[in-house]
Amino acid sequence: MYKLSLFIVAAALFASCGKKENTTEDFSTGAAATETSKDASSYDPKRGLGKYTTVELGATIDAAMAAEGEKIQSVKCSACHKLTDEKLVGPGWKGVSTRQKPEWIMNFITNPDPMIDKDPELQAQLEICLVRMPNQSLTDTDARNILEFMRKNDGVK
């Protein structure tokens, strides 16, 4: 009976971890963001793999977006990532918005699995961290707010 109860609880937990549908808010400029083929021939190490080809950033931080991003970070990201350059489970966030283009960050947040499979930098990180970043099923708006929080964390005014 105990094993059956344990199995039912495990099955319920597994089912609750299903994918949530992303919103389609578009933060790109120019042409509309479209889903890019996920094969190796379309991989661009500067923008990653996903629908973001351009992401327009303001010259200054949008405080409201950064505050929302901080809330999401505290719930979804802080268990694995520190805000410093120190590794926890995953790498620290300090400097990420200066090392990577905004398109790459947005594509990685919203599309981590194919990027880990194709990006040599992410594969090298995986060898160090030993744990793949899980897909958090964040909306495009959530991802953009996290990006704005990352910029704030990196000292953008």
Say what the pLDDT of residue 17 is. 41
Helices 140-153 and 63-72: crossing angle, nearest 10°? Answer: 100
Q: Rounded to two decimals, what is the model's pTM?
A: 0.73
* 49 in any annotated domain: no
Residue 16's pLDDT is 39
In a domain, 90, yes or no: yes
Integer Cα distance of 87 and 100 in angstroms = 18
Burial of 31 (0-12, 13-18, 19+ CB in 10 A): exposed
The domain containing residue 111 runs over which residues?
Answer: 65-157
Residue range 60-112, pLDDT digits in tens: 999 999 999 999 999 999 999 999 999 999 999 999 999 999 999 999 999 99
- Determine, yes or no, domain membership for 75: yes
Helix (H) or strand (E) holding 123, with range, is helix 120-129
CATH assignment of the domain containing 79: 1.10.760.10
Residue 60 lies in a domain: no
Which residues contact residue 28 at a Cβ distance below 8 angstroms, ignoring those fewer than 6 apart?
Answer: 51, 52, 53, 54, 55, 56
The phi, psi pair for 83, rounded to 5°, reads -85, -5
Residue 109 resides in a domain = yes
Q: pLDDT tens for residues 25-35? A: 444 433 334 33
Has residue 152 been placed in a domain? Answer: yes
Q: Specify if 52 maps to a domain.
A: no
* Token pair for 157: 């005014």
